[in-house]
Chain A
Amino acid sequence: MLIKEEKDLTHSLHRRGSEESLQNDYIILVTSAYGYNHEGARDKLLKVLDVVFEAEPDNLGSNETGTIYSGVTIEEIKENLTDVPRVRCCFASKEKMFKVIKKIHEMDLGLSVVISGLIDNVIDMANELDIKPHTVNLSLEVWGNVETLPPEDVLEVVTMCGHGLVASGLVEKYIEDVTKGKISPRKAAEKVAHPCVCGFFNPDRAEKIFAKYAQK
């Protein structure tokens, strides 16, 4: 059985949320391919990290360290880049995302660059920069015993961590705390961002979801 398409889902694929909510939700991943072009990639990735950090991402992290929301610094992320490194970060603004793609395109590093977001918006950005997109990874929804999944608002927050480390129980706890006025939507969003080690979690979107409960 499929989940119905009332709202949307996608690691960075399968994020759930309405089209409107996903308008300001972009993930960039820059990586080398092990066995193909990973040698020397570490130095290139360090340059990319500088570019994304200058653009003030809404989240940034690495599997090796965790994210800026959990207190990790850009220096720690740089120091811990592996031999098959990846730079990942989240932008809650199309304008910022565009500037970063433009800069990396100009640098011509030969690394794979993947953008997650609304397909039409990503293609628009690529067209404007005369970039020819190569491959798409489409999300064909959730299948199986979907009746056992938590409510949609919880899923929208949980699916921003594609590694599945943001527990549904944690989101439910903070929805309850926000509803009771124990914590602000922003603070709740930042708390829930901690388990996402790679930096894909979008605290701005999470804040908006929690804010619905503060208004009740």
Chain B
Amino acid sequence: MKVNKDKCIGCGICVPYCPAFAISIANGKAQIDEELCFECGNCARPRVVRCPTKAFEQSEGVAVIPRRIRRFFSDPTVADAVTKVPGRGTEESKTNDVTGKVLRGEFGIGIEVGRPCRGTTIHQVEKITMALAELNVEFEDCNPVYHLMEDPKKGTFPEEIKDERMVSCIIEFAAKEEMLEPVMNVIKRVADELDTVFSLDFIYRFDEDGNIPIIQKLNDMGILVRKNAKVNLGMGRPLVVD
């Protein structure tokens, strides 16, 4: 984003709305640190910041790679051209009743890098994907992160995009249940090497009796499972049978 200095009156109303802390006031005008800016579009939404002079504008570079990447992953009003899915990931568990991406005997992982509050660079994302690639996980191809990779087998990204920052993005994959421990061990290890944070999603099928036995298994591994979750009620059709 950029500020039209001719329009800006320096009122500062916009400053606290920026999740990247990229807006400041200098010499009586708002200014945006382009390096920090996620390109989430918050500041330019007339119903959010309500800038009295509508001084925020799209920066020229945001329409092209690499800067375009920031916007894709940070602005939920923009849908990915490949996946048609708005936002940072796929539909993960939301439509699993129809897509069957995660079946019984498997688990799905979503690593929401940068969430909450911190944001991330591709550098940080690559640390995780490279570590997971050592386990030969197959990253979800219906996901924007996959399409940025230089080599999905190695979890690497092109050098020219590694400094791009975003609110968050989601590394996704599914694996057989016997891979649970190795996968969680890699995640634990790589978490300690990051400058940012990630929120961890774990996607799993209910068993025939409506239970989630994996919770006990995760607890036994010392992994906390929150009491609130997303539950797909299985109303989608045609329903996947596994």
Beta-carbon contacts under 8 Å, B165-193 to A: 167-168, 187-188, 191-192
- Does A184 lie at the interface of the complex (its beta carbon under 8 Å from any beta carbon of B)? no
In the complex, per-residue mask of A81-103: 1 if CB is within 8 Å of any chain B CB, else 0 = 01010000000000000000100
Residues of B within 8 A of A137 (CB): 92-93, 108, 110, 201-203, 229-232
Residues of A within 8 A of B42 (CB): 165, 167, 195
Q: Is the CB of B235 within 8 A of A165?
A: no
Looking at the assembled complex, report how far the CB atom of A151 sits from the nearest CB atom of chain B, in whole angstroms: 11
In the complex, per-residue mask of B89-116: 1 if CB is within 8 Å of any chain A CB, else 0 = 0011111111100100000101010111
Looking at the assembled complex, report how far the CB atom of B119 sits from the nearest CB atom of chain A, in whole angstroms: 8
- A1-B192, A167-B18 are contacts. A146–B231 as well, Cβ < 8 Å? no
Q: Which of A33, A108, A168 contacts B95 (CB 8 A)?
A: A33
Residues of B within 8 A of A114 (CB): 93-94, 230-233
B116, B119, B195, B197 — which one has the most chain A CB atoms within 10 A of its CB?
B116
Residues of B within 8 A of A144 (CB): 191-192, 194, 196-198
Q: Is the CB of B19 within 8 A of A167?
A: yes
- Does B117 lie at the interface of the complex (its beta carbon under 8 Å from any beta carbon of A)? yes
Categorize the interface residue count of chain B. Answer: 35 or more
Residues of B within 8 A of A146 (CB): 197
- A135-B206, A142-B116 are contacts. A84–B230 as well, Cβ < 8 Å? no
A115 to B230, CA, bound (A): 6
Q: Is the CB of B19 within 8 A of A165?
A: yes
Q: Is the CB of A9 within 8 A of B226?
A: yes
Q: Is the CB of B228 within 8 A of A119?
A: yes
Interface residues in chain A, defined as those with a beta carbon under 8 Å from any beta carbon in chain B: 1-2, 5, 8-15, 19, 22, 25, 29, 31-34, 36-37, 63-64, 66, 70-72, 82, 84, 101, 104-105, 108-120, 122-123, 126-127, 131-146, 148-150, 155, 158-159, 162-170, 172-173, 194-195, 197-198
